């Protein structure tokens, strides 16, 4: 049912504990452009600020090499470097681009985007690039999906710092039982029309605003390096021990590996590996990733 069941108001009054009310994410209203800028928190005198761009793509498929972006949504905000909170929603971008091929039916069913909607459309590259002139933090809810598409379409953005709200926030510690964007918002009492790029950006921005500690956790993660530790030469009989410590098997390169954050975690893993097999001291390989390298194809 698309409309609120007003005929059940009496039931709700009699049994309020049996119902939950969902409210539209306020910033996903159709007239949101007219509301800009939207002040979320007052800026303090002398406060240091930076920019963040919440970004989402809708595409013709899952492969960033062969598929194309058909919708790009961006929400540019200002946040406090001192308090690690969002201060304002400043600008919103939403546009289509013609992939020059038919959109698969399953994509149209999921997103509602049809061939007629994108026909002859193209992103204005100058407008898009203007969102990134000061090197903002780029945030997506699944950055490992969105970043390769964006890097391929806009090569000038390949060195932007990215952060992922799906992977870099421990949602369970914040009291949630999942990490899907719709679920997180519904758990917080909100709904929105999902799988449209701009709506997803606005909804994610609002989730970061209303969830204490979420944006701070994301920012702190973004400024720490991630390290991939490759246990080259680990004997076969170490596999169970490696698996129990979170290592994964690379079937192409034939070695076990783990990704950790922070120098302390690296030291702990090196100590573990050196105690596990003799060759670890000479053969373990460590690769460092910062926010500028993470989630690239």
Say whether both 198 and 66 belong to one domain: yes
pLDDT at 1 over 70: no
Instruction: With a cut of 70, say whether residue 153 has pLDDT above it.
Output: yes
Q: Is residue 74 part of a domain?
A: yes
Q: Is residue 252 part of a domain?
A: yes
Same domain? For 74 and 33 the reply is yes
Q: Which domain holds residue 271?
A: 226-289
Task: Tally the domains of the chain.
Answer: 2
Claim to verify: residue 36 and residue 170 sit in the same structural domain = yes
Residue 2 predicted with pLDDT over 90: no
Q: Which of 170, 199, 222 is the last residue of a domain?
A: 222
At residue 77, the pLDDT reads: 98
Total-model pTM: 0.90
Residue 11 falls inside a structural domain: no
In tens, the pLDDT along 275-297 reads 999 999 899 999 999 999 999 98
5 in any annotated domain: no
Residue 296 lies in a domain: no
Q: Is residue 281 part of a domain?
A: yes
Residue with token string 């452009």: 33
Residue 8 resides in a domain: no
């Amino acid at each position: 049912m698309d409309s609120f069941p007003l005929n059940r108001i009496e039931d709700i009054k009699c049994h309020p504990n049996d119902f939950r009310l969902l409210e539209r994410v306020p910033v996903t209203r159709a007239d949101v452009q007219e509301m800009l800028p939207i002040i979320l928190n007052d800026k303090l005198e002398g406060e240091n600020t930076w920019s963040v761009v919440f970004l989402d793509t809708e595409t013709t498929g899952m492969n960033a090499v062969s598929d194309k972006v058909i919708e790009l949504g961006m929400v540019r905000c200002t946040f406090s470097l001192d308090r690690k909170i969002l201060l304002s929603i400043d600008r919103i971008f939403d546009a289509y681009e013609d992939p020059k091929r038919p959109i698969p039916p399953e994509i149209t069913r999921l997103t509602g985007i049809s061939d007629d909607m994108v026909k002859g459309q193209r992103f204005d590259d100058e407008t898009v690039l203007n969102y990134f002139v000061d090197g903002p933090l780029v945030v997506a809810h699944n950055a490992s999906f969105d970043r390769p598409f964006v890097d391929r379409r806009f090569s000038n953005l390949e060195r932007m710092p990215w952060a992922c709200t799906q992977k870099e926030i421990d949602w369970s510690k914040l009291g949630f039982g999942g990490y899907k964007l719709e679920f997180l918002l519904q758990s917080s009492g909100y709904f929105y029309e999902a799988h449209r790029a701009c709506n997803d950006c606005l909804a994610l921005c609002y989730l970061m605003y209303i969830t204490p500690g979420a944006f701070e956790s994301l920012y702190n993660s973004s400024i720490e390096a991630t390290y991939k530790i490759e246990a080259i030469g680990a004997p076969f009989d170490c596999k169970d021990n490696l698996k129990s410590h979170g290592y994964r098997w690379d079937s192409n390169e034939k070695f076990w590996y783990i990704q950790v954050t922070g120098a302390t975690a690296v030291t702990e893993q090196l100590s573990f590996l050196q105690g596990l097999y003799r060759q670890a001291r000479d053969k373990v390989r460590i690769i460092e990733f910062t926010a500028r390298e993470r989630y690239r194809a």
